[in-house]
Amino acid sequence: MRGQPLTMAELSRPESLRLLDQVPIGRIVYTVRALPAIVPVSHLVDNGMVVVRTHVGAECAGSVVAYQADELVLGQSAVSWTVTVTGVARRVLDPEEIAAYEARLTPLVAAEGVETIRIYPEIVTGYRLVADTAV
């Protein structure tokens, strides 16, 4: 990457979730046998919670996970941002809720065993990346 480094301006929780809802794909971070695993997935934000439909749902359910999405555009720092949500992932079990999410959210990967997972955010951190005029 060439040019000046960027600085991070912290975003509020509502602004972070609003931005997260504007992009369709992020990464879920979870553990497999105590080792970190990261998988790209599609998502939506519903009532302040992140919902994903993924084939790794069984491995995530009941665990603390992180979810990150961003929009990084080199040379246009005004639109660059990153958001990370950390919280417990729980399976969505209600058939009506599952059907509603299936209608709105297609899994990124076509695989067996797709589950609908809701992440209950405990920590939401967001940063807008801006040009550092001091550098």
| pTM (two decimals) | 0.89
How many domains are contained in the chain? 1
Q: Which domain holds residue 76?
A: 6-131
Least confident of 3-7, 23-27, 75-79, 123-127: 75-79
Task: Identify the CATH number of the domain in which residue 30 sits.
Answer: 2.30.110.10
Mean pLDDT of the chain: 90
pLDDT of residue 64: 96
The better pLDDT of the pair 78, 130 is held by: 130
Task: Say if 10 falls within a structural domain.
Answer: yes
CB contact set of 115 (below 8 Å; sequence gap of 6+): 53, 54, 55, 57, 58, 61, 91, 92
Task: Say if 122 falls within a structural domain.
Answer: yes
11-67 residue pLDDT tens: 999 999 999 999 999 999 999 988 999 999 999 999 999 999 998 888 898 999 999
Task: Say if 1 falls within a structural domain.
Answer: no
